[in-house]
Every structure is written in C-alpha cells, then in structure tokens.
Structure 1
Amino acid sequence: MPRETPPVFVPLHTEPMGLFASLAASRRNLIDIIPDEAVRRPILSGRTGKRWHMVMEPGAIRRMLLENIENYPKSLVTKNLLRPAIGDSLFIAEGAHWRWQRRAAAPVFSHRNVMNLAPIMGEAAERSCTRIAAAGDRAVDMAADMVRTTFDVISDVTFSGDGQMDAEAVHRAIDDYIEAAGRISLFDMLGLPDWVPRPGRVFSGKAVAEMKRVADEAVEARRLRGGRDVPDLLDLLLAGEDPETKRQMNTAELRDNLLTFIVAGHETTALTLAWSLYLVAYDQEVQDKARSEAQAVLGGRAAAGEDVAKLPYIRMIADEALRLYPPAAMISRTAQARDELCGCEILPGDTVIIPIYALHRSERLWEAPNMFRPERFADRKAVERYAYLPFGDGPRICIGASFALQEAVIILATLLSRFRFTPVPGKDPKPVQILTLRPEGGVWLMAEPLAGPDSPSRKGGAGMAG
C-alpha cells in the first residue's frame, strides 16, 4: 500500500484560459497556466497572444535540449525578465558567447573543487542545528532556515567571508527586483520586442545598478589582493580561461556570473531542502530510514564531502523532492526555425514550453506520480533521462548541479541525524512559482532533538529559529 503523502500540490486548470486570464494566472503562480491535460498528453498547443506549445514527451524534449538545441534558445520572456539583473551571464547567453563562458567556468565546478568546499557546507549545517535547537518547543519555519543556511554556504564559498562585498545585500536586491519586475507583463504575452519598456523593470533598476556597482568593486579588490591558499569561487573564476581561446572574463562578465551563482547557488538548494523536510515530516517511515542511514555514517558529527556517496537513501529523498517540487518548474524557449515535435508543426517565433512540474507528475511516465516515493531513484539508470529534469539537460544542464546535490545531502543528513521533524497542522505550504517554486507561507515543522551525547539539545548555543 502507498504511504500517506502530503496533500500539497497545485490542481491544474481544466478550462481554456484567454489572454487576460492567462496573464493574471502567470503573475499569480506560473503553475496555474498548466492545463490538467498536460499530465496525460505528450504535447499541447494553443494561442494566447502568440502561438505556444507545451511539450511533455521525453523524445521531443531531447530534441529541444540536445539534438536541435540551436533552434530553441531561451525564450525572449525569460531573457527580458532576467537580463537587467544578471546580464549576459551563463544563464542568459546564447551561442558562441555562452560556449566560451561555459568552457571558462567549467573547471570551477570540478569534483575536486566541489569537494574542497564541503567543509563550509558542514559548518553551515551545524549552525542550522544550533538555531533549530534554540527554538525549543516552538515550530520552526524550515524554508526560512534553509535559505539562511544555504546563503551562509554561498556567501562563504564565493567571497571567503572577506568583507569585500555584502552578499546578503546583493541577495536582497535581486529578490526585490524579482518581486517588482520578475513577473510576466502583458507586453511579454503579446510578444512585444524587448526595447519596449516594462514599467516594473524600469522602476526597480536603481537597486540593481547599485548592487552591480558594489559587486564590481569587490571583483576589482580581489584582483589587486590576489587569491587564497584554498581558492574560493571568485578566485577560481578570476583564474578561469577558455581552454580554446585563452580568453578570461572581464569585470562585468565575472560580476554577472557571480550574481547568478549567488542567487541560483543557494535558492534552488534551499528549496530542495525545505521541500525534502516537508515530505519526510509527513512520512515517518521514510524519515526513520534516512535517520538510521545518517546516524550510522555520521556518528553524531556533521556530514562531510566523503560521506555523500555513503548516504544513497538521503540522496533519493532529495531526488524525489526535486521531482515533486522542481525549483525551476517551467522553462520556455523561442523557436528560431520550422520544426516538428510529436507530429506538431513548430513555426519560427513560437513559444515552446517544457512544464517540468507536469512532466514530473505525468501519468504516462511515472507510477502513482503524486506519491512521495524516494525508492524510485534506487536505480537512477531506470529513470528515463528526459522525463526527469530538475537541472535541465543537454549542453546547458546546470553547471552547479553537483555542488547543489552535495550541499543538499550534507545538510539534510546532518539535520535528520539530530532531529525528528513533524508537521504543524493547518500550516501546509502552497507551491507558488514566479521564477522558482517556493513554499508560500513557509514550511513550519516541529523539530524534536534526539537523545544522545551529541544531540543539539545538549550542546546549547544561541540562535533564533528561521
């Protein structure tokens, strides 16, 4: 019998939506524009201001992301939303400009460099344990605490805590920009060119400009000072070069990529952890199994990089959380030339959407798709590759995927080894996507310290629950 699963998902709409209904839905929660049919069909097409297609067929997705990638660059809407904040960084750039940046940045996320950063992740997990223990018998918003924890990590691995840049202020500025300007406008839906001003993005530009100025100063200060014995992310990017052309990033390119890594590098992992904790709080059988694994490996200490391979079940929990609540729940592309997907004609200028939220819950591709079953990932080779896209795929697969998964396993294992998490009745979060799939209202859980000489309840320490 399937275990009880938490009741949180977004019911997909069953009635056709016109232009203004679609605009209102997309500004409220992008998930709301996905039709219910998407979990049962390989492709859906329509027109809302301009022609669109939603693709849920792995073979067609493979064509978009791998075989015919040049025909499907990121959509104009995506670029218009993000370019004012992160410029032509890896996330936005296309073609040759993207390729050389990717080649220059790839060594930054090598296995060796990611492993060297693992102690920072373990230290952040320890600080989270102290804060949770200090909450006593009060509920803790684990979504807020995971944002704080992963932000501690990205701040330390980016700038080594050298004080050259207020990374938290950078995060606030980008978050404020997304809130004010990161929602789709009517002009986007109508396909107006990007030189037509979007009011929200115009009015939020001052904070972004100040953020970029401070970031530029931090980059230049590091150039003058030089790197550290154990290089951080900025050191590695400064040293990076395209192996083919020997080109290095200038200050603006370094800054735009750093800002991208700061936001994407903690937001997505924080969401993975928050949803993972929410899920295991509802399924004590899974939580007990994960805890037994973590305690056997860790013996009371925080997890380290070399422990990750010994924690396969905790990795499965993270994988399943990424399936049910993918941080990037929808990606869109703009077709450049005529093509055919699932027998459907794709014309130049069409918006082609991969609704990852629906793909991951497809009744055609997953057994009991709305159920929480970490065991699905016991054999990852059995999971159809283009049916599961938490980090995208093809040449543009997320460059920091290994960093994010290592961080998620280290923090999740440390927390589960020390606390029993249970849900707070009536406090279920709602999945809402603007740019990422966030738990609206937070993830409020009770955290019971576990008895033992290394339990947080016996360590003491000051702190405040998130």
Structure 2
Amino acid sequence: MTQLPVRASLATKPLGLWASLKAARRNLLEILPVLAVKQPMVSGKVGVRWHMVMDPVAIRHMLLDRLDDYPKSKATKNVLKPAIGNSLFIAEGAEWRWQRRAAAPVFSHRNVTALAPIMTAAAEECCRRINDQSPKAVNLLDEMVGTTFDVIADVTFSSEGGFDVQAVHKAIDAYIDDAGKVSILDMIGAPDWIPRPGRLFYGSAIGDMKAVADRAIVSRQNAGARAIPDLLDLLLAGEDPETKRSMNIAELRDNLLTFIVAGHETTALSLAWAFYLCAFDQDVQDKAREEIKSVCGENAVTGDDVSKLPYVRMIIDEALRLYPPAGIVSRTAQSDDMLCGREIRPGDTVMIPIYALHRNEALWDEPDAFRPERFADRKAIDRYAYLPFGDGPRICIGASFAIQEAVIILATLLGTFRFTPIEGRKPQPVMILTTRPEGGVWLNAEPVT
C-alpha cells in the first residue's frame, strides 16, 4: 500500500453542540465529517442550520453569481474585526468594491515582479541560517515564518527602522491564537453584542499596534514616497478610479496590517508543508532539483526564473491542495436559495471546507496522495475544485505575490540542501484560523554537493 502524507482525522459520526465546540477549539478540521470528502454537500444543525458545500457548480454560484448573498460569516468578522477593522478582508458590498479597486494596482504584475530581488535576498539569507545550523535538525516552519516575514517587512517599509513590524505581527498573532478560537456563542448564533470570552483582553495590545501603524503612515505622508515605491507608498498613492476616493489613515492602517500578517503567514505555511512533502518523497525532491539546476545553474533564483520552474510551481500547488492555509471558509446566507437541490434560508451558515474540497473523491484521483504532476495541465482541473486563494471577485489580491515568493524560496533552498525526514517528528495539520503543521516541520538539511 502506498504511504500517504499526514492528514487530519475527520469526524466519523455526527457531532453534537459540545462535541463540535471542543473539536473546533482544538482543530477546526475535526468538525469536518468523512462524508465531506465523498459527497457534494452535507447539511446539519448545531445551534444554527449549516451546510458544507463541495460541489464546484454550487461553489461558483456562491462566489461568483450570488456573491452579495453570501458574505463572510458573522463568526469570521467577530474574530478578525478588532484586529484588522473593516479592511478588504472584512468589508462587503460597495465598501469592499472601492477598496479593492484602489488597492488593485499595488499588486499589478509590474509591481510584484519588481519585488523579486527582495524575495531572493531573503531566501539566500535563510540558506545561510540553515547552513550555520547544519548538521543539526532544522524547523522549516520557523525558518519559513522568519523568511517570509523578512520579505513582507522589506516590501512594506523598505527596512526603515521607525516601524516595529515584528511587534505588530506578535500582537496580531497573540490575538488570533486565542481570540481566533470558535466560541460556543458563535456556534449557537448568539447576537454579536454579547461579549465572547477570550476576546476581551487584547484591547490594549491591539490599540498599541494600530497606534504604531498610524504613526508610520503619517510619517511617510510627511516624508513623501521613496524613489522605488514600497507597499506603503503604493497604498498611499492608491485611488479608486471610479469614485476618486483614497483611503484615510484608518483604512490604510487596517489594510496594511492585513497585508503584513496575511502576506507572510499563509505563504510561510504553504512553504513549510511543501518542504515536509519534498522530504516525504525524495523522488519529487530530486526531480525539482534537476529542474532548478538546469534553469539556474550555480546562480541565484530570480524573478525571471519563476516561469521557467513549472515543476517547482507544481509542488507549491500540490502543497496548497493538500494543506490549504484557509482550510474552511464560512459564509452567512442572506436570502433564500437552492444549492445542490437543497433549500438555503437566510441566516444559514454555508461553509466551503476547502480542505475537504481538495480531497473530495469525486473531484480528485487518489486525493490523499502527494502527486505534483496532477497540476501539469491546469486546464484539466475544475476551477472551482481548487481554491487555495478563493475565486470570483474576492479572489486573494496577493495571490501572484505569494506564488512568486513561494517558488523563489522553495527553489533556492532545494537547490542548496537535501531535506530528509526525522523519525517520530511528523507534523499534524491543525486549523484554528489557518492550517498549521503542529509540532513544526523538523527536517535534516544536508548541503547539496
């Protein structure tokens, strides 16, 4: 029997309210029923009516055709709004549309490509750190968090010392680690005005963090843009072409904080899982290394190389399929509808369990197996069966940034080291807000000769 990479334990029987709460606070993936990887839709009631949708046609209907009828769930907003306000990630309707139009140029192909040297430099610095640790085991999760953090700090603030980006990240991280856990009040559909325990004690840290960001924005407004604009400069210059509206300081700050955290957390997780998978299958790692050597030789991996490394990109795509950072996304239905022949009522929670969608037996051949080659022909994959960045108008605005960064970092490290697993140190996929490898990704790293 073919050995499979680690996977979450899905529920084999219906969970009641308390069992669901315990599972959700421990690992949200454990609330997913086994049926979710076998059927197009699963429904139930735990406090509120809920539906899990794994059918690409129904998902397209939600994310594209009836976008405004399926806004982000109240639970999601309750968790994140204290930290990132009414930013692009939270906003809905007209408020979201104008912000999206204003921010879109920030992530244009030209701007993203111009940031590639920063990604290359961070990847090479990571290699130096790993080399200093060799032959000791290395936690690739920690290394990827540090490396992608270096990238987002540099592209956001041009490495200036007046803004403590790390303090900002730690404040949001601390908030999410505890406040991000599902509350029983969320599960029973309690009104938003009832305080959620665990979300009451971060006001000071979050307030300090926002104040630091505000000062950085005002300082840059007074100093003017850099000769080579960074993310903050581009956001300050952003304007909705339809309304001519620009972001005020609060809107700039909330989106800046969103980009800082989301811009490195999700990519770091994807890379950590990719290294685990490469160590899991040495044949894949060897094939990737051959491609890297043929394209880059002894030279650094640059932005120009990204499109010439299709197999490295396939590894990233397959890691995102098996361990999507956003393992479950949740919406609240606003009007009567039908999905997969089932009635949807206003107030119903409608989830797209991306972890289960990406492993659904009706959509994927050997869904639990690690097979990067399945992405050799992207057109053969149903667009709404693979959603690591979402889709429709609300597809992740930084997707191209994340892919470019992931390919450069993965290729740089695979071209420098051979990674092998450590007995007894398998990571476990655990989702609170993102799908993290619990226990870290501990691997042996040996220089390639």
Q: Is the 1:180–1:204 contact (alpha carbons within 8 Å) kept by the matching residues of 2?
A: no
Q: Which moved more, 1:113-122 or 1:302-311?
A: 302-311
CA deviation map 1:321-349 (0-9, x unaligned): 00000000000000000000000000000
Q: Is the 2:315–2:372 contact (alpha carbons within 8 Å) kept by the matching residues of 1?
A: yes
- 1:217 maps to which residue? 215
How far apart are residue 301 of structure 1 and its match? 2.6
The one of 353, 356, 364 aligned to 2:354:
356
Query: With structure 2 as the length reference, what TM-score do the two structures score?
Result: 0.99
The one of 399, 403, 415 aligned to 2:413:
415
Q: Is the 1:4–1:283 contact (alpha carbons within 8 Å) kept by the matching residues of 2?
A: no
- 1:139 maps to which residue? 137
CA deviation map 1:217-276 (0-9, x unaligned): 001000001111110000000000000011100000000001000000000100111000
The one of 223, 226, 231 aligned to 2:224:
226
The one of 57, 65, 68 aligned to 1:67:
65
- 1:50 maps to which residue? 48
How far apart are residue 3 of structure 1 and its match? 6.2
Give aligned pairs, total.
Answer: 449
* Partners of 1:197 and 1:67 in 2: CA distance: 35
- Residue 429 of structure 2 aligns to a residue whose secondary structure is strand
**2:401 aligned with 1:403, yes or no?**
yes
- Residue 395 of structure 1 aligns to a residue whose secondary structure is helix
- Which sections of structure 1, spanning at least 5 residues, go unmatched? 452-466
* Partners of 2:177 and 2:386 in 1: CA distance: 28
* Partners of 1:47 and 1:254 in 2: CA distance: 39
The one of 253, 268, 274 aligned to 1:270:
268
- 2:235 maps to which residue? 237
- Residue 226 of structure 2 aligns to a residue whose secondary structure is coil
* Partners of 1:400 and 1:88 in 2: CA distance: 18
- Residue 324 of structure 2 aligns to a residue whose secondary structure is coil
- Residue 420 of structure 1 aligns to a residue whose secondary structure is strand
Q: Which moved more, 1:270-279 or 1:300-309?
A: 300-309
The one of 87, 90, 107 aligned to 1:89:
87
Aligned-residue sequence identity (percent) comes to: 68
* Partners of 1:304 and 1:362 in 2: CA distance: 36
* Partners of 1:278 and 1:306 in 2: CA distance: 26
Residue type of the alignment partner of 1:80: N
- Residue 47 of structure 1 aligns to a residue whose secondary structure is strand
**2:36 aligned with 1:5, yes or no?**
no
- Residue 200 of structure 2 aligns to a residue whose secondary structure is helix
The one of 329, 344, 347 aligned to 1:346:
344
* Partners of 1:302 and 1:169 in 2: CA distance: 31
Match runs of 1:285-304 below 5 Å: 285-304=283-302
* Partners of 1:309 and 1:203 in 2: CA distance: 46
How far apart are residue 19 of structure 1 and its match? 0.5
* Partners of 1:5 and 1:15 in 2: CA distance: 23
* Partners of 1:133 and 1:393 in 2: CA distance: 39
Q: Is the 2:28–2:431 contact (alpha carbons within 8 Å) kept by the matching residues of 1?
A: yes
**2:279 aligned with 1:281, yes or no?**
yes
* Partners of 2:437 and 2:417 in 1: CA distance: 21
- Residue 202 of structure 1 aligns to a residue whose secondary structure is coil
How far apart are residue 180 of structure 1 and its match? 2.3
How far apart are residue 196 of structure 1 and its match? 1.3
* Partners of 1:335 and 1:342 in 2: CA distance: 15
Q: Is the 2:325–2:436 contact (alpha carbons within 8 Å) kept by the matching residues of 1?
A: yes
- 2:107 maps to which residue? 109
- Which sections of structure 2, spanning at least 5 residues, go unmatched? none
How far apart are residue 4 of structure 1 and its match? 4.0
CA deviation map 1:283-325 (0-9, x unaligned): 1111001001111111223211111000000000000000000
Q: Is the 2:120–2:408 contact (alpha carbons within 8 Å) kept by the matching residues of 1?
A: yes
The one of 157, 160, 163 aligned to 1:162:
160
CA deviation map 1:68-91 (0-9, x unaligned): 111100000000000000000000
Match runs of 1:297-316 below 5 Å: 297-316=295-314
Q: Is the 2:183–2:197 contact (alpha carbons within 8 Å) kept by the matching residues of 1?
A: no
Q: Alpha carbon RMSD of aligned pairs, Å?
A: 0.8
Match runs of 1:194-213 below 5 Å: 194-213=192-211
Q: Is the 1:423–1:446 contact (alpha carbons within 8 Å) kept by the matching residues of 2?
A: yes
Residue type of the alignment partner of 1:249: M
Stretches (4+) displaced over 4 A: none
